[in-house]
Amino acid sequence: VTLLTNTQGMTLYYFQPDTATTVACTGGCASTWPPYLSTGTSGSTGTLPGKLTMQANANGHQLCYNGHPLYTYSGDTSPGQTTGEGIGNKWFVATSDLAANKGSTGSGYGY
């Protein structure tokens, strides 16, 4: 199992209340948990088994893994830190074996 990170090596997280079509973390929440936004270049999952997609939402064009919008955590100050794990029992480190978001519609996720 691999921890997902951005290009700077910062750990990526997912927020349980998010669905594959709607983000629950916006505004002040997104200040603490900055959304991982697309820079306009196509992403690659390399050898990861999941699907990397982009979702246009209130945060911008946010990258998603298996339907989960991805975030970094402002409390992580150096690459590899996972200090956001388990916060509020809703924030978790995104890993390569992350199951498809249960809130997904089923289209495009291999159902």
Indicate the length of the chain as a whole number.
111
Record the tokens describing residue 32, joined without a space: 């603490």
- For 1-22, letters b (16+ CB in 10 Å) and e give eeebbeeeebbbbbbeebbbee
Per-residue pLDDT, 41 = 55
Helix/strand/coil (H, E, C) string of 40-100?
CCCCCCCCCCCCEEEEEECCEEEEEECCEECECCCCCCCCCCCCCCCHHHCEEECECCCCC
Give the mean model confidence (pLDDT) for residues 30-36. 98
The pTM score is 0.85
Query: Domain boundaries in the chain?
Result: 1-99
Quick one: DSSP state of residue 37? Answer: B
pLDDT tens, position by position, 42-95 = 555 567 888 888 999 999 999 999 999 999 999 999 999 999 999 999 999 999
With beta carbons less than 8 A apart as the criterion, state whether 42 and 53 touch.
Answer: no
